[in-house]
Structures are given as structure tokens and as C-alpha cells.
Structure 1
């Protein structure tokens, strides 16, 4: 009897575990569970060998011969009016269908179709097909400004317009593809003057100057933010704007701390020569869902979850970031320096380091519900084969990932 029960457990366990796993993991093969392109940059598509079953194209006669085989869905919302571009390459050679959909424009605000998702619109046949492509993934493909057999022309989008991209491979296997996404803002449609606020604190313009510009890393547009200057002989203070101009009369060594709502913070240390103009553009990363940031300066003693000297400043900066962006929830990710395969002890230590950061944040006023802490052992070492002590030390760290932004 015991043997029969044991065999039954062995037989049912894999399917049970799989069903539990599927409840917690998004299926990017489905339109409704698409992955979000939050900003220009590099993205990875993990094809699972399956296709989505919740969306069909029966309402489109032009797609009657399309056979879904192995799909991956992405969505994108235009931050401004501009041109959406991307290039892709896959690790496996196959034929791939690429379809891009948008919502039909012009509906009255009370129209029920206006308030549905693009996936719903595809099922009823009201979504607009913006692009249909069939490409060979042995070569690069996508949207650019020089169309050929592998590329179509980029897609012009209005501010706030949403598109859905479906990639459908002819191969029913697990493999990865890689996208590089670009978005060229139409600056003529953006009131750049409204985004700028210039702060000129020079008393005498005959001296050399330091000019600091704050820019959105995704769009290149100006950002209004708060900049604190420290360790300077004459420039210490708090300044609010998008561009700052200072006089440099003597050799300076100063520190800048920049914060802007909706962006990751930046800390910068400068050495300035006298009698020489300096210009600095600081590119701020939008704090969007899925984004990750390394927390330089939050490091740990060897074999310990104790912070090394100097970590308090960066911990305070992280706390201030969360106070400024109260809708953001983060995962704190702990890491260790460890050779070879990741061990249980390494995972436990990295988890302890993440929890030490979480404890600091909670003790300093951040709600527990906005935080989670996980240890990744040595899976994501910055220096897998370090040659110096400081590289080993850099592996003993934490970073954060935005998991929710209400």
C-alpha cells in the first residue's frame, strides 16, 4: 500500500508542481500577459515553444493563413510623439512573423471599445494592424528608416499611443531572441521650453564656468530636479531646475546629488580645474517597471551581512528615493562573491544582505509592504573572474529592481 502511494505521488508531482509554477509565472506567449517595453534599450525574448490560446485572428481575413506556433508578445506606450524603431536577432535561425497592432483612433470617450484592451480588440477585429512582416531570424530584422526585405519603416506614434507586438517563430523550441528598441522623439511636437528651468548663480561671468544639464536617458529631454552641491568652497547649496551654471574661480573638488521624481537618483564627484570651462550632462534613468539599478556604495564585510564603512550614505539615498516616489515597490537583490556553483550558504548570505537593507529602510520609515528581499548567491557577479580585491568586494553587494509602480 505504501509503495503504491509513493508511486502515485511520483506520477502526479511533476504536473502538480508545474500547475503551481504556472500560477505565479506570466506567460508571455499570451497577448494578455505581454512583456512591457518601458523604455528604449535592450530586451530579451524567451520563446517557450508554445503559442497563446486566448487570442485569435479569425476576424482578420488578411491573417487567415497565419499559423500560430511559438509566440512572444510585447507592448509599448509612446512617452511623446515620435518614431518607434527596433532591430532584432535570434540565437536560432527560423522564419518569424511579426505583427504590430494599435487601437483604432477616434472613438468617443464613452464608447465601450475605447476602454477595452488591444487584446480584446484583436479578438473582435477592431484593432488596427500597423505592420505585418515575415523575416528570417538568421539576419537582423525590425523597423528602421531604410526599409529592405528584413526591415519595414519605423512606426510614428502620438504621445500616449499604445502598440502591441507579436513575434511568432516557425520553430516550436525554446530559444532566445534579442531586441534593441529606439524611440526618436519629435522635438517639434514637444514644448521643450516648458521642461527647462535654467539656474544661473554666477556673480561675475568673466570666470570659467561649470554647466550641468539634467536629461531623461530615454528621450533626451530636459528634466527638472533637485541638485545638492557639497564639499565646495563657495557653491554648497540646494538648487532646483534642469540646467545650472556656476562660476569656477579656483580649483574645486565637489559632490553633486541629483533627485527628480520618477527617476533614479545620481551622485557624482567632480574635480574642476580653474580657468577652464566645464560642461556635464547627467542622464537620469526613468524609474519604470522592471528597471534595475546597482547601488554602488552599499557593500558588505567578507562573509557577513554587516555593511562596510560608508554604506550609510547610499542607504539614506535609497530611502530618500523611495520617499520621493511613494508609488514604487522594489525587490532588494542580495549578491555574494563566490567561486564555482552557487551554494546554499551563498544564497543564505546574499538573502541576509538583502534583508539587512530592507531592515534599514523599514527602520527609517519605508512601509514593509513596498519591499521584498531575495538572495541570488553568485548568479549575477559583476566580476565573475576578479583579479583585484576591490572587484571581489564589488561582488558583495545589493541592487534593486522596480516590481510595482502604481
Structure 2
């Protein structure tokens, strides 16, 4: 939190393994409930005091109702008019977590905390010699193709969200992997020399056993733009959220593959029904500059990179009606010069 004002700390012991979600609700719409969720470890209090603990989930959006849900896309949500729910957490029975709930607007506010865990499965006991249980598998494959001719391309891919760490493959035409069958929300990016970087958000329902993804790449042209949705930041600052790492790496690879390309990094914020204040303008400039600094630190020539902030003057949705539209407004775009 920018300032811990009216906080309550909960210690939660997980009763059953599976998906963990929760709701923080209130009848008073004037409340603004935020939360941080930590994994409970030894010496927890001392680590908190020493500022050596990082939350594994957070939501600082301006809302009286918040929590974790299976529909949310992002584990961390910054301050402002953003999605009021963060991505659910996979947990194991017996694990412990600390939930810090804070009312940023006023003291004395009441809230209700509703915890949701997967129900234990009560199955009949069946005797079987040498039982073999194999979980259902999802076959996921990615292919790189040219958008106009449909010809196969050689390039690099990054798949974030399929396993604990992003999957990175270089100089390939296609890639296939089998993983346990369940619901996935992925970010898949692809690069090929001479072609525009592509970054896609892909949702795989838990009913699918097979999914083939063709990524269609366009030849690079001056004036084209790349929307990197996952380059997100902590609330009201230019510090990257963990989910930004895969798109930042994909942008770096794009610049390394295409050494004759120069770009302008454009920063945009979500500020519906408000004028473009100096705070909005400054924040968008600082965030665009943060991306530029990342590329320069990784060895990209500063002469190839410009950065510019637009505040909330170029929102794709001036009156956003959903999380998707708010996220589309709050973006970093790359323009080919």
C-alpha cells in the first residue's frame, strides 16, 4: 500500500488443495478496500518489518468490492480505475497465507471476507492391484506463419502461463507440448527477423484436450504499432509488475533480431471521464521511459529508441465498460519509426 491506514491482518490455513479464491465485500460503497496476499514463512513478522517479503497477489484498484477470482487475468492489479479482482491461486492443503486488507479512504468501515476452496472429493474405495492413474493431458502447439502467404517462418516464441516459468524457444517453426488438462490463461509472443512482434492473450478452457495456435506475422512497415498488454506497472509508479517480464523479453528479442529498426515507446494510462492531469502525463512519460531504460540496459543503442507519454488523451475506450476495455486503455505501445 502507498499508506497503510486502516488495515486488518488474517492468517489463513488452507483446508483442501486446489484453486483458492475469495471475496471482500461491503455495503458501504464509499469504502475502498485493497489487499496484499503473502505466503506465510518462518520469521514472517521480522521479514515484513525488514521489507524482505513480496506479496504473491495484490489488488489496489479503486473499489469497495475486491478479491481473487478464476476469471481475472493478472495476479497484481495497480491503483486507480482498474479490475477489482486479481487472478486465483493454486494452493495445497496445510499451506498458510497472510491476507492484509486495508481501507484506503476511511476508518471504521466494515467488510465481509468470504473464502472459497475446492471441495474435497469423496470417492469410493476400490481395491486394485498396481493401480495406474494418469491425468488427462492437453496437447498445445504453436506454429509461426506469414500472414499473407501462410508460409512457415523460423523465429522465437515465449509462452507464459503454461508452466511455472515461461517457455522460451529460439529458431523454430513450431513447438508442441503436453501439459495437465485444465484452464489456462496464456500470453504467447513470437518474433521472426523482418516481421512485426506479435503478442497474444490466449484462454484455453478446461474442456479442451488439444489446441493448435497459428501465429500470423506481418512484415515490418514504418508506422505500425505493437500493443504489449502485459507490460503492466505497480500502482501510480513506473515499477514493472512481474507479469511484464515476458513481453519485455519479447520486445528485446525483436530489437536484437531487427537491428535496422528504430521505435517510439508510447505510454498510456486509463483515466475515464477525467482531464489529462499533470500526474497522468508524468506517469505515462515515466512508464514509457522505464521500457526504454530496460532496452538500453540490455544493450540496445539509445539512438534507436524514443519514448513519449500521452497521459489519458488516447484511450481506446473513453468510457470503459469492462476490465478488458480498461486494460486496453492502460497500455504500452511500440511504434515503428
Q: Which TM-score applies when normalising by structure 1? A: 0.41
Greater RCO, 1 or 2 (C-alpha within 8 Å, sep 6+): 2
* Greater helix content: 1
Q: Which TM-score applies when normalising by structure 2? A: 0.48
